[in-house]
Amino acid sequence: MDIHPVLSSLGRMSLTATWLESMIYGLNCVLFGGCMYVLSIRRRRTHRILFASCVFHILISTAHAILSFIQLLNAFPNPSTMSVPHGLDLYFATPSVIVITNLALYVSNVFMQDLLLIWKLYVVLGRCWEIALVALITEGAHLACAITSVVLIAQPNAHLFSPNVQAFGKASWSLDLFLNTSVTSGIAYRLWRADRNISTIEGHHTYKATMFAVIESGALIATCTVVMFALDIAGSPAGLAAVNVAVQVATTTPLLIIVRLGLGLTHGDSPSQERVTKGSSSSLHCARPPTQFHGSTTEDTCTYPMHSISGSSVGKSAIDPFFESRDSVILDPV
């Protein structure tokens, strides 16, 4: 197979993808500043996992953006590249230290984002390790396929569109898409159940805004993965160029959840409806839905305390489930 038609316009696609990456990276820098603001103004101790994940993701995004810029500098002013037919396309399709490093950064960023998502599912289900274990096994398979694909690309005389690389790449994206969709749906369902149970008692929706934020942020990375997967199946080199954008989107997703909930930038009920009176507490029943027996309600429960905070804080009732160190019932472990 002639490689030139397959790589047609890959150089221009890579240039466009790097331009888009720089725009999203700028957004990530703003979101990172917002995350540090939200996490630092809290009265209660924020779990260190949130701080560590924010710093890790922004460092990965920064390193990837710098390497992508260096790659452009090495390609376009280079006479040996510009003078060869399809020289730019071949340059971006040829494995190099920068290409391998960027792919490794992408795999690492997505892996850490998935781990954070699984951790949230683990806590929101009341430390249900069985479901978390299934998710971790799926993530292990996804990581193994992704690493194998990168290792195959790093082999001598290998190229990015070899059958083996494509096979492991497609398997990796399929598993990642399945994992993200399943875990996000599980978290959203659990929040919906909690919101429904509480609303019947207190008359307002406590976790509705949080549920929407989780769904929308999960849909962001899922949509990006679907687009890359579809482009790769169609045989378009744009799927490879889109990795530059995907690594930034993988950073945007977790940062966006923190900023939106912390600053009250959510859909659903207004903050005044979602606040809980200071000093009050209730219980969150996180097992099976209630079953009616002759006018009485019975249910199997695992109860966790839900302590409120000051009603003067913006969006605090929505953000607390993500950040509390001990009093949270949603996304922070004990």
Mean pLDDT estimate for the chain = 75
End-to-end CA distance of the chain: 57
Please state, in angstroms and rounded to a whole number, the distance separating the CA atoms of residues 289 and 172.
35
Q: How far is CA 49 from the centre of its chain?
A: 15
- Residue 293 tokens read as 């027996």
Q: How far is CA 35 from the centre of its chain?
A: 15
Confidence of residue 203 (pLDDT cuts 50, 70, 90): low
- Residue 163 tokens read as 């059958």
Please state, in angstroms and rounded to a whole number, the distance separating the CA atoms of residues 47 and 213.
20
What mean pLDDT comes out for the span 87-99? 83
The residue behind tokens 């979602």 is: 274
Confidence of residue 241 (pLDDT cuts 50, 70, 90): confident
Classify 3-271 by CATH class. mainly alpha
H or E segment at 5?
Answer: helix 3-6
Residue in 138, 248, 149, 147 with CA at minimum distance from that of residue 186: 138
What mean pLDDT comes out for the span 101-107? 94
Q: What is the pTM of this model?
A: 0.75
What is the per-residue pLDDT across 261-306, written as a single tens digit (0 to 9) for each? 777 766 554 443 444 333 333 333 333 344 343 444 444 444 434 4
Query: What is the pLDDT, as a whole number, of residue 205?
Result: 65
H or E segment at 170?
Answer: helix 163-202
What mean pLDDT comes out for the span 130-143? 92
pLDDT at 80 over 60: yes
pLDDT at 136 over 90: yes
Residue in 152, 171, 172 with CA at minimum distance from that of residue 162: 152
For residues 88 and 167, the model is more confident at 167
Inter-residue contact 180 to 237 (CB < 8 Å)? no
What is the per-residue pLDDT across 186-200, written as a single tens digit (0 to 9) for each? 888 888 887 777 777
What is the per-residue pLDDT across 23-36, written as a single tens digit (0 to 9) for each? 999 999 999 999 88
**What residues does each domain of the chain span?**
3-271, 278-316
What is the per-residue pLDDT across 17-26, written as a single tens digit (0 to 9) for each? 999 999 999 9
